[in-house]
C-alpha cells in the first residue's frame, strides 16, 4: 500500500524530528553542529521556511518550522540532507545513509500549543540528562528565546512575540514558562502525534485540518483494535 503524503499546509507550524539511522551519531564533533546550522539557515531562507525553535541532539534533530508554501519543509530538509550528509561522510570517510528514512512531522496548533512545542524541543537536553538547565546546552534555540542572544537562524512566531512588548519582557516571560515545566503526558502526546504524523492541538484545530485535507488527523490508539463480539 502506498503511504499517504505527509500533512503539509502553508502557514501552519510543523514539529519535525529526524533521527540517525539505527540511532547512530549524527554529530560527532563541534564542526558537525556548526555545519548543520549553516545548512539549516541557508535552506530555510531558500525554501521560505521560518525556524522558530530547534535542538541538535547527538543522534537526532528537532525543529519547529512554519512554511510559506506547501512542500517547503520537504524541500528544505532534502537540501540540508544532501549537503550535510555529503560533508559528514567525507569528513569521516564513510558512505551510505545517515538519517533514518523520512523525517517525521506533525502540524501544531498555534493557539495554546505552539509555545508548548517550543518548550518541548528546548527541554530535550534536560530530559536526556545532558544538562541541568536548557540554557547550559549550546546547540538549541533556548539562548535566543529565553536569554535574547542573537541567532540569525530564528524567526519569532507571533505567539512568541505576544509574550511581551520588548525583548526583555518576551525573554523573561518565556524563561518563566519553560521553568514551569510540563506534564509528562504533554511530552508523550506530542511525541506520539509526531511519530504518527498527525496534528497536535485542540479538537477545533483538528477538525479544521480534517475539513481542509479530508483526512483523519487524530492519533490512533496503540495496539490492535478490540474486536466486537455479537
Tell me the pLDDT tens digit for each residue of 142-185: 999 999 999 999 999 999 999 999 999 999 999 999 999 888 99
* Alpha-carbon gap, residue 106 to 23, rounded angstroms: 21
pLDDT of residue 101: 84
Q: Which CATH superfamily is domain 14-210 in?
A: Transposase IS200-like (3.30.70.1290)
- Per residue in 201-213, pLDDT (tens digit) is 999 999 999 999 9
Give percent of the chain above pLDDT 90. Answer: 86
Going from N- to C-terminal start, the domains of the chain cover 14-210
pLDDT (average), residues 66-92? 96
Q: How many CB atoms lie within 10 A of CB 30?
A: 10
- Per residue in 139-149, pLDDT (tens digit) is 999 999 999 99
- Decide if pLDDT at 224 tops 80: no
pTM: 0.93
pLDDT of residue 179: 95
225 exposure class (CB count in 10 Å sphere: 0-12, 13-18, 19+): exposed
- Decide if pLDDT at 28 tops 80: yes
Which residues, in sequence order, are CB contacts of 90 under 8 Å at separation 6+? none
Task: Decide: 16 and 65 in contact? Cβ < 8 Å.
Answer: yes
pLDDT of residue 3: 63
pLDDT of residue 223: 57
- Per residue in 30-59, pLDDT (tens digit) is 999 999 999 999 999 999 999 999 999 999
* Alpha-carbon gap, residue 16 to 28, rounded angstroms: 21
The pLDDT-based confidence of 69 (bands split at 50, 70, 90) is very high
What's the farthest any 2 CA atoms get from each other in the chain? 64
pLDDT of residue 183: 87
pLDDT (average), residues 118-137? 97
User: How many residues make up the chain in this entry?
Assistant: 230
- Decide if pLDDT at 226 tops 50: no
pLDDT of residue 23: 87
* Alpha-carbon gap, residue 34 to 32, rounded angstroms: 5
Amino acid at each position: 500500500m502506498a503511504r499517504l503524503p505527509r500533512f503539509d499546509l502553508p502557514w501552519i507550524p510543523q514539529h519535525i524530528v529526524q533521527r540517525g539511522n539505527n540511532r547512530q551519531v549524527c554529530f560527532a564533533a563541534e564542526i558537525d553542529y556548526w555545519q548543520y546550522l549553516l545548512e539549516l539557515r541557508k535552506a530555510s531562507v531558500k525554501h521560505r521556511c521560518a525556524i522558530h525553535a530547534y535542538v541538535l541532539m547527538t543522534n537526532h534533530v528537532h525543529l519547529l518550522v512554519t512554511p510559506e508554501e506547501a512542500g517547503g519543509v520537504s524541500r528544505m530538509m532534502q537540501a540540508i540532507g544532501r549537503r550535510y550528509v555529503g560533508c559528514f561522510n567525507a569528513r569521516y570517510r564513510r558512505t551510505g545513509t545517515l538519517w533514518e528514512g523520512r523525517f517525521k512531522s506533525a502540524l501544531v496548533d498555534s493557539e495554546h500549543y505552539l509555545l508548548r512545542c517550543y518548550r518541548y524541543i528546548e527541554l530535550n537536553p534536560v530530559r536526556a540528562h545532558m544538562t541541568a538547565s536548557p540554557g547550559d546546552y549550546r546547540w538549541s534555540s533556548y539562548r535566543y528565546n529565553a536569554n535574547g542572544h542573537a541567532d540569525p537562524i530564528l524567526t519569532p512566531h507571533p505567539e512568541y512575540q505576544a509574550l511581551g512588548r520588548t525583548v526583555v519582557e518576551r525573554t523573561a516571560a518565556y524563561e518563566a514558562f519553560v521553568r514551569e515545566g510540563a506534564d509528562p503526558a504533554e511530552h508523550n502526546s506530542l511525541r506520539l502525534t509526531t511519530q504518527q504524523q498527525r496534528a497536535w492541538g485542540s479538537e477545533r484545530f483538528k477538525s479544521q485540518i480534517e475539513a481542509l485535507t479530508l483526512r483523519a488527523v487524530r492519533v490512533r490508539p496503540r495496539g490492535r483494535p478490540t474486536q466486537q463480539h455479537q
